[in-house]
Chains A and B, each alone.
Chain A
Amino acid sequence: MPDLARIQSLIVQAAAGPVYRLAFFKIESTAGARRFLRACRPRIPSAAEPQRPPPILQLALSWRGLGRLAAGHPGLAPAEGERQLEASFVAPLPFDPDSLGFTGASAPEHWWAGSWRNADLDLALYGAFADEAQADATMAELAVRAAAEGLIELRLPRGAGGRLGGHRPAGGIVHFGYRDGISTPAIDWAGDGSAAVDFREILLGYPNETYRMAPMQAGPWQDLVRDGSIACIAWIEQHVHAFNRFLRTAAGQLAGLAPAGREEEWLAARMMGRWRDGSPIMRWPDAQPAAPDLDDRFGYRADPAGRRCPLNAHIRIAHARDDALAYPIARKFPNGPPRFIRRGFTYGAPATGETEDGIERGLVGLFFCARLNEQFFSVLRWMQATTFNDAFDHAPHTSRMQDAVTGTRSGRKVDRQLHLAEGERTSALELQDFITYRGVAHLLMPSLPSLDLLAEEPG
């Protein structure tokens, strides 16, 4: 069973912050990279510790970085790791970017502001800080240390010192105006049935009949990744003014469907599946309650046709709960739809209104899971083509519909519709692009003992 003392803290608990940074590095000197890991290591807490005051660091490695640091250690030949670890993890880019929504402005050739490519990435460093001054001072110190050890920092042309940086959103409200972070899964870290979600959704190294995660084969590579997690980093620009324009324009088509005078909020709630205060529309279909209802225990069985909560509302795709999954999907996920842990931060100044201000804003998400393709990529695919739920096969729905908020509408044969219903009245709206993927990467956040091993010179 997992030992929390082996696990990097961010996987189990959100870091205090409230200021965050993500820095990316390319390793030029393996020996130098090992020294850099050793230098960072005291500032990387485990999940067993009481939450430390900032600054804290967490460290993740791409396959390229992992293979390079593993080389020379007994039983950890990179060629064998490449064969045993999940093929989607080993590849620097997804094999099927179009189906994940990485097309048009979100295509990989535009990622990282064109400054570097996923194939350059070896190591990512996440930091949580008390304030901007601490963040800047710590990252500057680490940058000097990294450079001295032969690591090339992969900077961006703008942002926090050329890094991704941001804040914990005030009141938990992100740029589109919704409360976030409500439905974090309760993980059974002890493996004793004390929580609903099996730790194997998150942690590597514990394959069984239900969770056939790579490496299936016992041995040094399985040992190395045990108590680590795949960390998927997604830099997502949010087009707030376009979203607001859409709400206002579309609200004009909702007369008689939405409550008069509250059309925009009614529509915003149906696109997300929650009112902006976080209350689920499955429980509060007409208006948000006087106080936010953050009880996450609800499902969709009472609404199979999406009349109360649209089938392609964001949270209904991101976590399908008790929706009936299509046979091939249900067979792959006998314990229910895939789960992952979400961390992250928002960046850019808050925005209101509809007039573009030239300021980029959005969020940087870190998503932890054990099976990259089956979990994280599956949900991204369903956001772009809703084949996972047979309810989409019944008119007016189609399996070419997309997530109302995160769909990339530029793909081939995309159905851009959002179907809304209230009583006998129905309406269909034409959705637009509200986000752009600015960079996506997948890394391993290794266990602390594995970091220690990789930080040592072999032999």
Chain B
Amino acid sequence: MTHALNLTIPIKQDVETLAKLGALKSIFAERVQPLIADALRRSKIVHFARVLVIDDKYIQVITEYEGPHLEYTEFFRDALTPIFAQIFALADGAPDAGDPNAFFLYAKDHNIKSLGQSTDGSTTFTGEPAGWLFSAYDGLTVKDLQAQLPPAA
């Protein structure tokens, strides 16, 4: 089944942090985005991913991915440690991105549940029913979908 990650992290509002945020924005397309894309493409479990900044007050990492949170949270942390370290540097009380347990607890506590209720058995990090996530293709996996596509030219 497909799970949603709606990781939403409040950004510290001091001058130094906002400068770090500005730096992250300026390098994102060229230096951050390709690293994320490479890891997620190779994973074959992530449908979509994006990073948003809301009014310089919140940074969001939003993805739709296959499989249990408990199975793949550590993969995301491990594959993207430097990027999460940059994002966590913007937040108060964020964990060491190199600590799997601290990362899991932080992701659990900052994953905003969508409104509504899951219709496919998807759960939160702690096993409660997840919020609603619409899927036009009834939970087909990334691999299922890629198998239907013609080979890339």
Contacts and interface: CB of A to CB of B under 8 A. Distances in A.
Contact of A381 (B68, B75, B96, B127): B68
Contacts of B96: 216
B143 A393 contact: yes
A95 interface: yes
B26 interface: no
A95 B70 contact: yes
Nearest to A328: B75
B70 A328 contact: no
Interface in A344-383: 373-374, 377-378, 381
B32 interface: no
A87 B127 contact: no
A216 B74 CA distance: 14
Contact of B99 (A91, A212, A378): A212
Contacts, number: 77
Interface in B92-122: 96, 98-102, 104-105, 108, 121
Nearest to A98: B121
Nearest to B66: A387
Contacts of A85: 101
Interface of A: 83-88, 91, 94-99, 212, 214-217, 326-329, 331-332, 373-374, 377-378, 381, 387, 393, 399, 412-413
B105 A83 contact: yes
A215 B69 contact: no
Given A86-B101, A95-B127, A214-B100, A331 B68 contact: no
Interface in B1-58: 1, 42-45
Given A326-B44, A332-B75, A215 B70 contact: no
A326 B72 CA distance: 12
A87 B42 contact: no
Contact of A87 (B66, B75, B108): B108
A327 B70 contact: no
Contacts of A86: 101
Contacts of B141: 399
Interface of B: 1, 42-45, 66-72, 74-75, 78-79, 96, 98-102, 104-105, 108, 121, 123, 125-127, 139, 141, 143, 147
Nearest to A88: B70
Contact of B126 (A95, A98, A214, A387): A95
Contacts of A387: 66-67, 71
A373 B103 CA distance: 14
B100 A212 contact: yes
A216 B70 contact: no
Contacts of A329: 75
A96 B68 contact: yes
Contact of A216 (B99, B105, B123): B99
Contacts of B71: 99, 378, 381, 387
A387 B101 CA distance: 23
Contacts of B123: 95-96, 98
Contacts of B69: 95-96
B43 A327 contact: yes
Given A96-B70, A96-B123, A331 B102 contact: no
Contacts of B78: 331-332
Contacts of B147: 393
Contacts of A326: 44
Nearest to B67: A387
B41 to A, nearest CB: 10
**Among A94, A373, A378, residue most surrounded by chain B Cβ atoms (within 10 Å):** A373
Contacts of B75: 328-329, 331-332
A84 B101 contact: yes
Contact of A374 (B74, B108, B125, B139): B74
A337 to B, nearest CB: 14
B98 A216 contact: yes
B44 A373 contact: no
A144 to B, nearest CB: 39
Given A96-B70, A217-B99, 20 more contacts: A85-B101, A86-B101, A87-B104, A87-B105, A94-B127, A95-B69, A95-B126, A96-B69, A96-B127, A97-B127, A98-B123, A216-B98, A216-B101, A331-B75, A332-B78, A381-B68, A381-B71, A387-B71, A393-B147, A399-B143
